[in-house]
Structure 1
Amino acid sequence: MPFSRADYKNTSDANDVARFLHDEIAGKTVVITGVSPKTLGSEFALTVAGQAPKLLVIAARNVEKLTKVAEEIKAKYPDANVKTLQVDLASFESAKKAGDEIASCEDVPMIDVLVNNAGIMAQPYSKTVDGFESQFATNHLGHFIFTKRLMPKILAAARVGREPRIVNISSNGHRIYGINWDDVNFSDGKTYDPWMAYGQSKTANMLFSLALAERYGGRGVYSFSVHPGLIVDTNLGAHLDKEAVMELLFSDQTPEPDIPLIQKTLQQGVSTHVVAAFDPEIKKDNGKYLADCIVADHRVKDWAADKSSAKRLWELSEQLTGEKYDE
């Protein structure tokens, strides 16, 4: 039997989903952050590359690792058109520079899909060069700036009816904690908990998608947030004690005690990326959160689905970054 939406589930492979959505991927220009070998970013890039996109722009902090992924894509798909972009999302200056670089490229007249995939998890307390707690800055504020700089190209796609999308990779970790509105820096570390700060940043990813849908949905832009699932074969939590993390996840402290916890492969992890980025059936759910390849309202904490909070975060983000989006 051919693959269909009826086969969307927590163990769906991204390549199956991408082949099913081939016509939605072919000819598209796709920008992806957080791309390095053996990560969700590289797995998603490789998956999309197999379905004849017009251009893949892969972005990350480490140029050497980016180059390795680009070479891997070209080795597997010689006809793939791949552009690399250096960006450190922990730096406002770097996020601006990288965004402007793509925005000024004459060979990138429009962007069909932006996947804000880069992120860090449960790091020890530190501040970025701009003075913000590192998880909130890297996972949200850097992407807020980068996305703003790419909006002219995204809106160009919308104006000709291409229905562009912005996908923000979140997590069920949003359920740990909402936005610490009065103190996103956790009193310069005095009240810092790495998992609470991670939860704050993942909630921000979801509210960002909700705000983008509210602000630009009427102009033909779509935005979704995604929970990829538990994937242990990435570098995201390389600094963490694996036994302690697994003990936490399988205890009654897990973010979703009512959802069976399974370990996914990279392919299973990015299947929801593919649905969020390309499936036309979810357009009616603009701004929503996806997990296991489907819209997952039932798995969302109220603080991550509140439109007034989304607006408040948008205004706070503009204030903290100095980046004001055009109306």
Structure 2
Amino acid sequence: MSTFPTFFFETTADEVATAFSQEIKGKNVLITGTSINGIGFETARVVAKHANLVIITGYDSERLKLSEEAIKKDVPTANVRRLTLDLASLAAVRTAAAEVNTYAEPLHVLINNAAAIARPTFKLTADGLELQMATGHIGPFLFTKLLVPKLLASATDQYTPRVVYVSSIAQSMGTGVNFDTIKAPTSEKYNYVDAYCQVKAANVLSAVELSRQSGGKINAYSLHPGHIFTNINQTEEAITKMKNLGMLTPDGRPNEGHNWKTIPQGAATTVAAAFDPRLNDQPGAYLVDSAVANQAIAPHCSDPVNAQRLWNVTEEIIGERFEF
């Protein structure tokens, strides 16, 4: 039996992918949110060195093309396919999923990485949903639901398909998902930091409940990638808030005293959640620094009642039952 290494805070995505190269070999992987200068892009780049196919997504087709070109420049042998996907639109999610379902290949791993930038301004989507929750939870829920046939098509006696949710330590902040405002969001009850925390709590609950609901047919995991200064953090509002918290220096650079990770370090835990065979018997696990850290899950995110309630509410919102 192979012996796999222990990973640490400093471990990079490339190191994790190299350690699990045999597990990645032959796999078809879809990663949402793969813009350059983000952990989704770095995940795609390192996985593309070993995988059979990497499907990258984004709502901006030009930026998506730049990501593909950058990956292929670094990994000339990479088999990369672009998929335009706007997770803030349920209609667009259905269109993108229908395209994936025409692909000849099964899907071994789905990585729900994309998220909306947290902004103070309250914004509703065309579906009447709060933008952060739509992009980070409801859209991915529907997308995952529609891709279940593709995921199940990759299953064998030796392999269980995986779904990975990139959550955050923010899952442990606040009081969890507000089940009233998720269905009927209002500007009066909107706080953009709390909205972000709710989405990340929903990610953890989704991993727990998807693993349970599938009855062992799909293994789902969630994770905290670490504090990373990616493009999603480089808005004026985010920079101002992080300066006030001391996370950034007055001139806008990461403060070394706040345990920032580089993008390669930040993407490491995603790769581990997607491919570490040691997780096979731990569906629903939450990872930090590329290792299981279930003790770090907030009580409101480990509560099976909350998990099932979120599942049921989200099914009501999308108007479809999630079946396996």
TM-score by length of 2: 0.91
Give the superposed CA RMSD: 1.9
**Distance (whole Å) between structure 1 residues aligned to residue 233 and residue 155 of structure 2:** 33
Who is 2:180 aligned against? Answer: 182
Identity in percent:
35
Measured after TM superposition, the shift of residue 174 of structure 1 is 1.2
Measured after TM superposition, the shift of residue 273 of structure 1 is 0.4
Moved more, 181-190 or 38-47: 181-190
Measured after TM superposition, the shift of residue 122 of structure 1 is 2.4
**Distance (whole Å) between structure 1 residues aligned to residue 236 and residue 66 of structure 2:** 23
Structure 1 pair 150–180 and aligned structure 2 pair: CA distance change class (3 A):
same
Question: Which among 87, 93, 107 is matched to residue 111 of structure 1?
Answer: 107
- The residue correspondences of 1:150-169 to structure 2 (distance < 5 A) are 150-159=147-156, 161-169=158-166
Measured after TM superposition, the shift of residue 241 of structure 1 is 4.2
Structure 1 pair 28–196 and aligned structure 2 pair: CA distance change class (3 A):
same
Who is 1:266 aligned against? Answer: 263
**Distance (whole Å) between structure 2 residues aligned to residue 315 and residue 303 of structure 1:** 16
Who is 1:23 aligned against? Answer: 22
Measured after TM superposition, the shift of residue 239 of structure 1 is 4.1
> Which amino acid is 1:118 matched to?
A
Q: Matched residue of 1:174: which SS?
A: helix
Measured after TM superposition, the shift of residue 183 of structure 1 is 2.1
**Distance (whole Å) between structure 2 residues aligned to residue 33 and residue 55 of structure 1:** 14
Structure 1 pair 81–249 and aligned structure 2 pair: CA distance change class (3 A):
same
- The residue correspondences of 1:211-226 to structure 2 (distance < 5 A) are 211-219=209-217, 221-226=218-223
Deviation sequence 1:225-281 (CA, Å, 0-9, x none): 011110013234424241422433659xxxxxxxx8411100000000010000000
Who is 1:283 aligned against? Answer: 280
Who is 1:255 aligned against? Answer: none
Q: Matched residue of 1:167: which SS?
A: strand
Structure 1 pair 306–261 and aligned structure 2 pair: CA distance change class (3 A):
farther
Measured after TM superposition, the shift of residue 217 of structure 1 is 4.1
> Which amino acid is 2:196 matched to?
Y
> Which amino acid is 1:167 matched to?
V
- The residue correspondences of 1:224-303 to structure 2 (distance < 5 A) are 224-248=221-245, 261-303=258-300
Who is 2:76 aligned against? Answer: 78
- Cα contact 1:119–1:236 (8 A) shared by 2: no
- Cα contact 1:212–1:223 (8 A) shared by 2: yes
Structure 1 pair 248–98 and aligned structure 2 pair: CA distance change class (3 A):
same
> Which amino acid is 1:19 matched to?
T
Who is 1:257 aligned against? Answer: none
Deviation sequence 1:173-192 (CA, Å, 0-9, x none): 11223011122267511021
Who is 1:254 aligned against? Answer: none
Moved over 4 A (4+): none
Task: Work out whether 1:5 is the aligned partner of 2:14.
Answer: no
Moved more, 115-124 or 91-100: 115-124
Task: Work out whether 1:204 is the aligned partner of 2:205.
Answer: no
Measured after TM superposition, the shift of residue 67 of structure 1 is 0.6
- Cα contact 2:34–2:57 (8 A) shared by 1: yes
* Structure 2 unaligned blocks of 5 or more: 249-256
Task: Work out whether 1:102 is the aligned partner of 2:104.
Answer: no
Q: Matched residue of 1:85: which SS?
A: strand
Measured after TM superposition, the shift of residue 161 of structure 1 is 4.0
Structure 1 pair 72–149 and aligned structure 2 pair: CA distance change class (3 A):
same
Q: Matched residue of 1:240: which SS?
A: helix
Count of paired positions = 312
**Distance (whole Å) between structure 2 residues aligned to residue 130 and residue 71 of structure 1:** 33
**Distance (whole Å) between structure 1 residues aligned to residue 246 and residue 44 of structure 2:** 28
- Cα contact 2:49–2:77 (8 A) shared by 1: no
Who is 1:256 aligned against? Answer: none
* Structure 1 unaligned blocks of 5 or more: 252-259
Who is 2:49 aligned against? Answer: 50
Measured after TM superposition, the shift of residue 162 of structure 1 is 2.6
Measured after TM superposition, the shift of residue 218 of structure 1 is 2.2
Measured after TM superposition, the shift of residue 20 of structure 1 is 0.7
Deviation sequence 1:297-322 (CA, Å, 0-9, x none): 12111001111211111100000111
Moved more, 181-190 or 133-142: 181-190
> Which amino acid is 2:298 matched to?
K
